[in-house]
Amino acid sequence: MADTSKPPDMQLQIQMDDDVANGQYVNMALVNHSDTEFTLDFIYVQPQQPKARVRSRIITNPKHMKRLVAAMQDNIQRYEAKFGPIAIPEEDGGMH
């Protein structure tokens, strides 16, 4: 009889460099996709400036993207339950 026991679960240790831990402020995101991946560009747009710089780009596969969207929805629901609804003004012009 073959040994079909499952290997013990490994605990993932996540490391973060200081510059990553400090984070980046963004106020715009662009999302693009192909059949195999999603690309998220996080951008900071300064008021009254004609140019904006991408501060971070994340490339992931569709399964991870779906998990990320679910996690974001869950966190928004918990945030709104604690602090109230997040209002998105109509005059945003469709920017996400």
pLDDT of residue 93: 55
Residues of the chain with pLDDT under 70: 1-4, 91-96
Contacts of 67 (CB under 8 A, 6+ apart): none
Write out pLDDT tens, residues 67-84: 999 999 999 999 999 999
Q: Enter the DSSP assignment of 31.
A: E
- Other C-beta atoms closer than 10 Å to the C-beta of 44 total 15
Domains (range + CATH), the chain: 23-81 (2.30.31)
pLDDT of residue 92: 57
Q: What is the pTM of this model?
A: 0.76
pLDDT of residue 5: 75
**CA–CA gap between residue 3 and residue 53 (Å, rounded):** 54
